[in-house]
């Protein structure tokens, strides 16, 4: 689905955004004291009051904005207000300025998402007419990227296997005049991507590496790598039903890099962009890779498979090594990589890992400014020993499982030497219960923050 603002010429109901302790002044100005009192409207955060004329038609909306403490408990709170309003066109006319006004517009658009691929009818939404004080094109672009990511994650694997993900990848490239190369099936062996092949070969949709390029060759190279495990059964180390239930979302990293790529290309940033997605299904069949198999990676290190469910780091390792060969200025890895990241930080705050202090500070800043929560975890060197087994160079699933998000990140880092800066983000890609501006289901995490980081570095 695509986000929309109401047209510029539409008639819109004015929305007054009001903090609790500014309510009295607004009420006096609009002369609506009785209505406000009889409805018990006190402007707590997310509270909505529709003000009718004498015929009952709405002439204004008061949107409760609470106080700073209440707002600090969530993000993109305007989404709650948008979701409460009846169908119609609205315009924010007072109470917000500057970046808060832009963010309210974004939240409104994000709240209007519905996964409508399999449902004939989805409810009509309250549309926002963009204020002339905001950068409407930019906000719309961010929402488009976010919606693309959500759509890709929400689409079940029967319609979003490696074949369909490749089609989506090509469609995005085509709409931005980007170039695509795809290496598929046994050609992966010929071109030396043995781990992508090993993980994906048990599926009847062949494993593949999707490779997109866009931009001017003199601009700094930014490479995005996204985990594209279209379904993760766990392989022969099969997941229990309770863990497998959500695994259509295991291509969330690739969905996120595509959403981010859309934003970068639409806004025409001055970077040379490359997007790499190893697209596979971690399936079970006679050809499946096994526990205790030893794989030789693209980079040459050998990997002992101690759990076929730790497949993400294997396909990413080959893709990251390939990306790294070109010495990108910035290498970003997005993946629904570990359950441990969720145990550590919960579903809404993805951890990121980087050795670049400057980049870490930029991500920290952008995460807060863009209301796109991220939290740094360390590449904790003393745990390096945990990923070194007896029989091979690397172990894909350290025993004990302590610090699982960190050991997975350390594993990936072994495949990156030459990128000037590297960051890995361990995403959840899913919103387990609806929140302001976020529907239940697929979630686009980190893309807007990383867009701001890329702009700050190269803009």
Supply the residues annotated as catalytic: 239, 313
Q: Given the rule CB under 5 A, which of 4-12, 164-172, 225-233, 345-353 is the region that contacts Mn ion?
A: 225-233
**Total of residues contacting ligand BES (CB under 6 A):** 16
DSSP-based three-state secondary structure for 128: strand
- 93 or 164, CB closer to Zn ion? 164
142 near Zn ion, rule: CB under 5 A: no
* Look-up of token digits 């990997």: 303
Enumerate residues 426-445 that contact ligand BES by CB under 6 A: 428
DSSP state of 69: H
Binding track, positions 56-85, relative to ligand BES; x by CB under 6 A? ------------------------------
Host H or E run for residue 332: strand 330-335
In contact, 74 and 46? CB cutoff 8 Å: no
Pairing of strands 351-354, 421-426: antiparallel
In the list 19, 144, 211, 232, the residue contacting Zn ion (rule: CB under 5 A) is 232
Residue 244 C-beta-side C-alpha neighbours within 13 Å = 16
Using CB under 5 A as the binding rule, whether residue 309 contacts Mn ion is answered as yes
Answer yes or no whether residue 250 interacts with Zn ion by CB under 5 A.
yes
By C-alpha distance, which of 102, 47, 51, 46 is closest to 79? 46
Cα distance between residue 121 and residue 437, in whole Å: 20
Q: Which residue has the tokens 């239940």?
A: 440
How many Cα neighbours within 13 Å face the side chain of 288? 22
Comparison of 229 and 425: residue with beta carbon closer to Zn ion: 229
Asked if residue 309 binds ligand BES (CB under 6 A), the reply is yes
| Interface segment toward ligand BES; rule CB under 6 A; list 188-196, 261-269, 303-311, 359-367 | 303-311
Stretch of 37-45, 171-179, 259-267, 333-341 lying at the interface with ligand BES (CB under 6 A): 333-341
Point out the residue whose Cβ comes nearest to ligand BES: 339
Residue 19 or 232 having the CB closest to Zn ion? 232
Report residue 244: phi and psi, to 5°. Answer: -80, -20
Residue 280 contact partner, candidates Mn ion, ligand BES, Zn ion, none, CB within 5 to 8 A by sort of partner:
none
Size of the site for Mn ion (CB under 5 A): 3
Single out the residue of 50, 160, 310, 333 in contact with ligand BES (rule: CB under 6 A). Answer: 310
Q: Which stretch binds Mn ion (CB under 5 A): 187-195, 224-232, 291-299, 428-436?
A: 224-232
Angle (nearest 5°) at CA 80 between 76 and 84: 155
CB of 401 vs ligand BES, minimal distance in Å: 6
The backbone region for 198, taken as left when phi is positive above 0, alpha when psi lies in -120 to 50, beta otherwise, is: alpha
**Least distance to ligand BES from the beta carbon of 426, Å?**
8
Residue 228 binding Zn ion, by CB under 5 A: no
Token reading at 248: 């259509």
Task: Give alpha helix (H) positions in 65-179.
Answer: 68-71, 78-84, 98-111, 136-154, 162-175
Contact 198, 293 (CB under 8 A): yes
Which of the ranges 62-70, 173-181, 232-240, 448-456 carries the binding residues for Zn ion, by CB under 5 A? Answer: 232-240
Which of 87, 262, 102 has the alpha carbon at shortest distance from 174?
Answer: 262
Query: What DSSP state is assigned to residue 120?
Result: S
232 binds Mn ion (CB under 5 A): yes
Give min distance, CB of 323 to ligand BES, in A: 20
* Burial class of 180 by CB neighbour count within 10 A (0 to 12, 13 to 18, 19+): middle
Q: Cβ-count burial of 185 within 10 angstroms (0-12 exposed, 13-18 middle, 19+ buried)?
A: middle
Going by C-alpha positions, the residue among 262, 15, 229, 297 that lies closest to residue 144 is 262
Nearest distance from C-beta of residue 337 to Mn ion, angstroms: 9
Q: Quote the least distance from Cβ 395 to ligand BES, whole Å.
A: 10
Q: Which residue among 250, 304, 386, 395 contacts ligand BES (CB under 6 A)?
A: 250
Cβ nearer to ligand BES, comparing 58 with 291: 291
Return the H-helix or E-strand segment holding 197.
helix 194-200
Min CB(313)–ligand BES separation in Å: 8
Per-residue string for binding with Zn ion, 287-326, x by CB under 5 A? -------------------------x--------------
**Which of ligand BES, Mn ion, Zn ion, none does residue 208 bind to, with CB < 5 to 8 Å depending on kind?**
none
| Residue 427 burial class via C-beta count within 10 angstroms: exposed 0-12, middle 13-18, buried 19 and up | buried
Q: Which residues would be at the binding site for Zn ion (CB under 5 A)?
A: 229, 232, 250, 312
Residues that bind Mn ion (CB under 5 A): 232, 309, 311
Q: Which residues bind ligand BES (CB under 6 A)?
A: 232, 250, 307, 309-312, 336-340, 342, 397, 404, 428
């Amino acid at each position: 689905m695509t986000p929309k603002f109401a047209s510029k010429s539409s008639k819109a109901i004015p929305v007054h955004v009001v903090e609790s302790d500014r309510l009295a002044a607004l009420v006096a100005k609009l002369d609506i004291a009785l209505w406000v009192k009889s409805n018990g409207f006190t402007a707590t955060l997310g509270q909505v009051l529709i003000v009718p004329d004498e015929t009952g038609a709405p002439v204004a909306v008061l949107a409760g904005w609470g106080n700073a403490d209440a707002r600090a408990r969530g993000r993109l709170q305007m989404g709650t207000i948008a979701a409460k309003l009846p169908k119609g066109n609205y315009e924010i006319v007072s109470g917000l300025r500057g970046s808060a006004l832009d963010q309210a517009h974004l939240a409104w658009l994000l709240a209007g998402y519905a996964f409508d691929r399999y449902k004939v009818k989805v409810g009509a939404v309250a549309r926002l007419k963009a204020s002339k004080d905001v950068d409407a094109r930019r906000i719309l672009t961010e929402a488009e990227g976010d919606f693309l990511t959500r759509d890709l994650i929400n689409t079940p694997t029967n319609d979003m296997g490696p074949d369909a993900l490749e089609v989506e990848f090509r469609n995005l490239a085509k709409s931005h005049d980007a170039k695509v190369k795809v290496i598929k099936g046994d050609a992966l062996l010929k071109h030396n991507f043995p781990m992508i092949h090993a993980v994906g070969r048990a599926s009847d949709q062949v494993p593949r590496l999707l490779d997109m390029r866009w931009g001017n060759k003199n601009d700094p190279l930014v490479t995005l790598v996204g985990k594209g495990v279209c379904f993760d059964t766990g392989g022969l180390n099969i997941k229990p039903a309770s863990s497998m239930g959500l695994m259509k979302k295991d291509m969330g990293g690739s969905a996120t890099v595509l959403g981010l790529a859309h934003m970068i290309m639409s806004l025409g940033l001055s970077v040379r962009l490359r997007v790499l997605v190893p697209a596979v299904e971690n399936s079970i069949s006679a050809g499946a890779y096994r526990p205790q198999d030893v794989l030789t990676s693209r980079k040459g290190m050998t990997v002992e498979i101690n759990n076929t469910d730790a497949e993400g780091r294997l396909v990413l390792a080959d893709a990251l090594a390939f990306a790294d060969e070109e010495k990108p200025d910035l290498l970003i890895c997005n993946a629904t990589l570990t359950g441990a990241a969720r145990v550590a930080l919960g579903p809404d705050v993805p951890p990121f890992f980087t050795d670049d202090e400057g980049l870490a500070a930029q991500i920290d800043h952008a995460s807060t400014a863009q209301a796109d929560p991220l939290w740094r975890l360390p590449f904790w060197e003393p745990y390096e020993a945990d990923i070194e087994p007896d029989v091979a160079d690397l172990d894909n699933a350290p025993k004990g499982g302590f610090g699982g998000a960190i050991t997975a990140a350390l594993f990936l880092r072994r495949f990156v030497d030459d990128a000037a800066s590297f960051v890995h983000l361990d995403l959840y890609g899913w919103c387990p219960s609806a929140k302001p501006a976020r529907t239940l289901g697929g979630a686009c995490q980190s893309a807007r923050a990383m867009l701001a980081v890329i702009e700050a570095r190269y803009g």
